[in-house]
């Protein structure tokens, strides 16, 4: 969990460099990361050291609203599920950035990745706001420059190593949530 949270913190830091138009996205992600950090550092923190232990603890102690929003709007399982869904967007987006041609539009790549993943969980107003923000994304080269990894070839190689790890984390979480039937926490 500590590493999961650290990963998201790094991503949010990157997002914040893209400008205030992404502030509403960053704010939501920061809020969710903060909830997980509070749980991890709280008095029951030992139960939050892994995603597996969190799921077991919260389900065994009825700390998750399973069918309708109720007493546990900030459960770890619910909060992490939102970030988990966003991780699929990230995986798709990074993979398209890695494989696209130099003149591809990042706004289109980002929107495609979003439409294939996260968008189905968002209401109309969030989808519209996200779509508008995507139009203000910098070009592929600017993305790569901010990453500060080196030449385009080096960034592409780095992404080639990172994406399978993101996919693995995504799949392990997806399987765990499916096994406990908690992929639809409201
Ligand atoms: C070389 C490229 C590196 C790319 C690095 C990208 C860094 C991205 C960092 C953060 C991604 C944002 C994560 C957003 C989490 C959204 C979680 C969510 O779905 N929340 C909604 C549901 O929450 P509840 O209401 O149920 O608690 C919430 O309603 C969402 C509100 C904000 C809008 C979310 C839009 C998400 C768009 C994702 C694409 C981000 C675009 C970034 C462009 C780089």
Asked if 65 and 73 touch (Cβ cutoff 8 Å), the reply is: yes
Is there a domain that residue 91 lies in? yes
Is there a domain that residue 163 lies in? yes
Binding site membership of 130 for ligand 1 (Cβ less than 6 Å): yes
Binding site membership of 126 for ligand 1 (Cβ less than 6 Å): yes
Is it the case that residue 117 has pLDDT exceeding 90?
Answer: yes
Q: Provide the residue range defining the domain that includes 46.
A: 2-179
Is there a domain that residue 184 lies in? no
Binding site membership of 15 for ligand 1 (Cβ less than 6 Å): yes
Is there a domain that residue 186 lies in? no
Q: What is the DSSP letter of 91?
A: H
Domain count, the chain: 1
Is there a domain that residue 155 lies in? yes
pLDDT in tens, 24-78: 999 999 999 999 999 999 999 999 999 999 999 999 999 999 999 999 999 999 9
Binding site membership of 149 for ligand 1 (Cβ less than 6 Å): no
Terminal Cα distance for the chain, rounded: 22
Asked if 11 and 90 touch (Cβ cutoff 8 Å), the reply is: yes
Binding site membership of 55 for ligand 1 (Cβ less than 6 Å): no
Asked if 47 and 53 touch (Cβ cutoff 8 Å), the reply is: yes
What is the CA(176)–ligand 1 centre distance, in A? 22
Binding site membership of 177 for ligand 1 (Cβ less than 6 Å): no
Is there a domain that residue 185 lies in? no
Atom of ligand 1 nearest to the CA of 155: 1
Q: What is the pTM of this model?
A: 0.97
Q: What ipTM is given for this predicted complex?
A: 0.97
């Amino acid at each position: 969990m500590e590493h999961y949270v650290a990963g998201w913190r790094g991503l949010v830091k990157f997002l914040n460099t893209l400008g205030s138009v992404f502030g509403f996205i960053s704010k939501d992600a920061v809020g969710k990361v903060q909830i997980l950090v509070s749980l991890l550092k709280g008095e029951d923190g030992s139960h939050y050291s892994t995603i597996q232990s969190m799921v077991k603890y919260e389900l065994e102690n009825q700390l998750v609203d399973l069918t309708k929003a109720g007493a546990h709007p900030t459960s770890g399982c619910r909060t992490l599920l939102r970030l988990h869904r966003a991780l699929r967007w990230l995986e798709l987006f990074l993979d398209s950035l890695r494989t696209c041609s130099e003149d591809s539009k990042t706004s289109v790549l980002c929107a495609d990745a979003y439409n294939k993943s996260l968008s189905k969980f968002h209401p109309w107003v969030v989808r519209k706001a996200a779509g508008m923000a995507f139009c203000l994304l910098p070009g592929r080269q600017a993305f790569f420059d901010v990453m500060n990894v080196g030449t385009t070839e080096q960034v592409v190689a780095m992404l080639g190593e990172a994406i399978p790890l993101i996919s693995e984390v995504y799949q392990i979480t997806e399987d765990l949530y499916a096994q406990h039937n908690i992929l639809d926490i409201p």
